[in-house]
Structure 1
């Protein structure tokens, strides 16, 4: 590629304390069968020899550009700096401890051109010290799109093995928020909401190095703050989108609600009561601000409820009060559901009223009219 040519792809590589791995990463980049690349190495001011190695590679390959840094700002801001400097038609990301198959960018770019796609996702393999596990995410996305319009229901992470049209990112101001956790999910959801088309290319393989010392495995107080902040950002984007409500609720279930409960399960023995109170307070606020607590009540307890998911809330309320499915109030006045030992919802019958609480939130009341064959309901504000 000549110096004045516009590269097909700008590859952004944040560099921070990956001295033991960066050569393998850079070798996989300069050895790509597609040569029309610019490789942007962003110095995030680590404490090892990673950037010394990076500069040595830059001296031997004119496609490598180095963005010098003055302080450690974190991976989100490093990627944003790289995007600002990118000149390519498409933008790609790779972490400096990962590597790529030789035809990775050729396959992604050819698919992007052939299908006129704003995003093209490859596949990836998680690489552990003793094994390599191929991802089945692309197959999950294909199955998801048979039922839903939003691929994000199955494409919930791994933003890095995707090619993005640079103009799309800039027109919609798609950047990484300054968070210590979850910035990649926010970026990915916004990109998926604005893309004209997502294409899949199974032959392009990204090798995702699993390191116990990586930032994604480091837990701190800032981690928990970022956890709820990034879910809140996603909730706001979904509320403003034109996605079908069923798609949004399915995303909430798989990408937000279940992970939140899993987080709590893993933290249960490590944190005190005050933390648990704070955690569930934040969870309740997130659900209520998102506006999906009522629907999630039907979604949580049992996969059986998916079969009645197309019903309107009024129909669902009537469905419950006629005892066509659980709970059976003929034998008791209160019914509750737990997931992983965590209380999720409580349904209580008081006289002619059924009260429904989710995560301790009063989200619905169903009034049974003794002289009529149906019930009325209202959502709690």
Structure 2
């Protein structure tokens, strides 16, 4: 029998669940079990739990057949607990290193109390952490084991269950279980604390309580379900009625009840406006019905609110709140006005356009900060033209000479036409974010396509690597709040996007539309790509596409490409693709004049370069994930891997999980390419595993999937994903040339 059982319910937490379970299974204390409960989660939480159970026998998984809510999911896990003590851990929170060892040691030192209360810290999206403000209540004073009568201030701690270890026989003796509905922690916490005879405390942060910015706390949802709080306090007072020996706690429970009701009324994100007066009447009725004899109201503002409850005077309470709100609004508006001193004429024009109706058939597209017609937005645009021709397609493009397809209108950033389209378009599509000034209008649809599968850290994770960015993360999240949909090419990306951009969008696991051109390519497409580049038949083509490095001001290939081309000989053409963040390289221009090295940094469609190449040489670029769809050899040149990981951070170890051959020096790379070690049975197996993980949704119909869902309102499964093993193979350059000759 284990010392500890951790009950971990899971529902819609696929982006946080790994971090939670890793924090448990990585503890230095091992005498525990995890009872993980999949509360019929619609995402992949259940599959992730099964994955961990296969890897670690301490994890047992219970899959519920229907969603029952947090309280009942905990009950289901509790029924299967076998440990001496039960701990409840929410699946988006984490244990601190050494927490379980410290808890077990404290339990031993205090002679197995019925409840051990330990501390927690709130963690925020910006990386900050704040310890429980009432941590002083957990400092050891007097006897190491005590009853609540000796330390009644423990009732003022947040009414939560996940900062306590409960002796299992104590739970069973009293028959404690979680009720259904909101605020399920209140009756459990209060009834267990007032019933316990032996309590101990641990003045140590054992748990990090994640403050999710969006979608994490169901209590921040405007709903009539907040009326559940009345049922929860019915249970608390029923427990008091059933146990006369606990009568001394009635005034304290009354105070907690009144405070809780007032908190629900005070929070703007709880009750629908038309339900507030009804809630107040029920709260006032409970107040008058349960008022203990001789009860003394608290002083100050809170005491006045108690008086309003006693009188049943909702208008008076609401009046106080309105006055406070007015004062706050005046201060806030003053700050905002000071920060919005911009071009008055443009602002007024945009505001005027915002007052006009949305154009239901207008879609505004942009890619790479309006550099060109490219990437996922371009592939979606082409699919819109085919599948939804009634949509008017407008692109934001800086360069007047940038090519766009027929039927596409172009506006320049900052022009009146731009602001008009931004204000009135029902659909906005981008692979980055539009300007901060963009107003997200009700009824509009904003589609974030992204522009790669992330190897390097993104979004909020970049806070851990300040040398890589000067981003204002609060501004970033305000921009991301505008998203309605976020595209993903694989489950790996979905988990990361949802965690590092914690906003209220819907993830669309459609695949990347830009990769349709790769997956659907024919032998003729491959030949055309090589002919457009002027590559002679029979020549081997290696595409070298390194990523951007924040610590480099300009593009300097880490390879001596001239020396590499010389070593590879006259039958090899080396294409070099610099990152779009960099200006054209004079050095590459000089080498291109020699013939065997070609600077293709300005080529408008990288997909054509992929089709022309026999193999891709890259470092940490997301190009590897796209190119893998062709099932052609990939070579990783990682001469500065440790520096890159430390400066930018990565999500997995590319040297341990590569898509093919790896070289850490130019000499090693040259040897690989000359010996043929870049394309072997071993590298093919590595590529197959890589494709299985990262190419799962790129089946050639991603753009259609997006357009039917977002623009035409089809169901999510209208265009099923073709499994990887059933997809048609894309011809390699030698196969394409042979087919052309045949």
* TM-score, normalised relative to structure 2: 0.38
Give the whole-Å Cα distance in 2 for the aligned partners of 1:175 and 1:269: 25
Structure 2 equivalent of residue 320 of structure 1: none
* RMSD across aligned positions (CA): 3.0
How far residue 182 of structure 1 moved from its aligned partner, in angstroms, is 1.2
Aligned residue for 1:242, secondary structure, equals helix
Residues 122 and 211, structure 2, Cα contact 8 Å, conserved in 1 = yes
Structure 2 equivalent of residue 259 of structure 1: 260
Residues 254 and 291, structure 2, Cα contact 8 Å, conserved in 1 = no
Q: Which of 75, 94, 119 is the equivalent residue of 2:115?
A: 119
Give the whole-Å Cα distance in 2 for the aligned partners of 1:209 and 1:44: 20
Structure 2 equivalent of residue 139 of structure 1: 136
Query: Structure 1's 155 and 64: CA in aligned 2 closer, same or farther, altered over 3 A?
Result: same
How far residue 91 of structure 1 moved from its aligned partner, in angstroms, is 0.5
Structure 2 equivalent of residue 198 of structure 1: 199
Residues 92 and 164, structure 1, Cα contact 8 Å, conserved in 2 = yes
Give the whole-Å Cα distance in 2 for the aligned partners of 1:229 and 1:43: 26
Ranges in structure 2 where 5+ consecutive residues have no aligned partner: 142-146, 314-742
Residues 119 and 163, structure 1, Cα contact 8 Å, conserved in 2 = yes
Query: Structure 1's 146 and 81: CA in aligned 2 closer, same or farther, altered over 3 A?
Result: closer
Residues 38 and 61, structure 2, Cα contact 8 Å, conserved in 1 = yes
Aligned residue for 1:299, secondary structure, equals coil
How far residue 92 of structure 1 moved from its aligned partner, in angstroms, is 0.6
Aligned residue for 1:225, secondary structure, equals helix
Query: Structure 1's 269 and 197: CA in aligned 2 closer, same or farther, altered over 3 A?
Result: closer
Residues 151 and 192, structure 1, Cα contact 8 Å, conserved in 2 = no
Structure 1 equivalent of residue 164 of structure 2: 162
> Would you say how many aligned residue pairs link Structure 1 and Structure 2?
304
How far residue 199 of structure 1 moved from its aligned partner, in angstroms, is 0.9
Alignment of 1:237-316 (within 5 A): 237-239=239-241, 240-243=243-246, 245=248, 247-253=249-255, 255-267=256-268, 271-272=272-273, 275-292=275-292, 295-296=294-295, 298-300=296-298, 302=300
Structure number with higher relative contact order (C-alpha < 8 Å, ≥ 6 residues apart): 1
Aligned residue for 1:264, secondary structure, equals helix
Structure 1 equivalent of residue 10 of structure 2: 15
Give the whole-Å Cα distance in 2 for the aligned partners of 1:132 and 1:268: 23
Structure 2 equivalent of residue 53 of structure 1: 48
Structure 1 equivalent of residue 98 of structure 2: 103
Residues 138 and 200, structure 1, Cα contact 8 Å, conserved in 2 = no
Query: Structure 1's 66 and 344: CA in aligned 2 closer, same or farther, altered over 3 A?
Result: same
Give the whole-Å Cα distance in 1 for the aligned partners of 2:239 and 2:206: 30
Give the whole-Å Cα distance in 1 for the aligned partners of 2:11 and 2:224: 19
Give the whole-Å Cα distance in 2 for the aligned partners of 1:201 and 1:291: 34
CA deviations 1:146-179 (Å, max 9, x no partner) are 9865355323412101110001111111110112
How far residue 204 of structure 1 moved from its aligned partner, in angstroms, is 4.5
Residues 236 and 290, structure 1, Cα contact 8 Å, conserved in 2 = no
Give the whole-Å Cα distance in 1 for the aligned partners of 2:299 and 2:55: 59
Structure 2 equivalent of residue 210 of structure 1: 211
Residues 141 and 151, structure 1, Cα contact 8 Å, conserved in 2 = no
Give the whole-Å Cα distance in 1 for the aligned partners of 2:124 and 2:311: 39
Residues 112 and 119, structure 1, Cα contact 8 Å, conserved in 2 = no
Q: Which of 90, 94, 112 is the equivalent residue of 2:89?
A: 94
Structure 1 equivalent of residue 408 of structure 2: none
Residues 103 and 202, structure 2, Cα contact 8 Å, conserved in 1 = yes
CA deviations 1:183-219 (Å, max 9, x no partner) are 1111111211222222111224200011131243343
How far residue 267 of structure 1 moved from its aligned partner, in angstroms, is 4.6
Residues 6 and 33, structure 2, Cα contact 8 Å, conserved in 1 = yes
Give the structure with the larger strand fraction: 1
Q: Which of 227, 230, 239 is the equivalent residue of 1:228?
A: 230
Aligned residue for 1:224, secondary structure, equals helix
Structure 2 equivalent of residue 354 of structure 1: none
Structure 1 equivalent of residue 418 of structure 2: none
Query: Structure 1's 215 and 302: CA in aligned 2 closer, same or farther, altered over 3 A?
Result: closer
CA deviations 1:44-87 (Å, max 9, x no partner) are 11111222222111111111101122111111111001110001
Greater C-alpha Rg: 2
Structure 1 equivalent of residue 732 of structure 2: none
How far residue 284 of structure 1 moved from its aligned partner, in angstroms, is 2.3
Residues 264 and 270, structure 2, Cα contact 8 Å, conserved in 1 = no
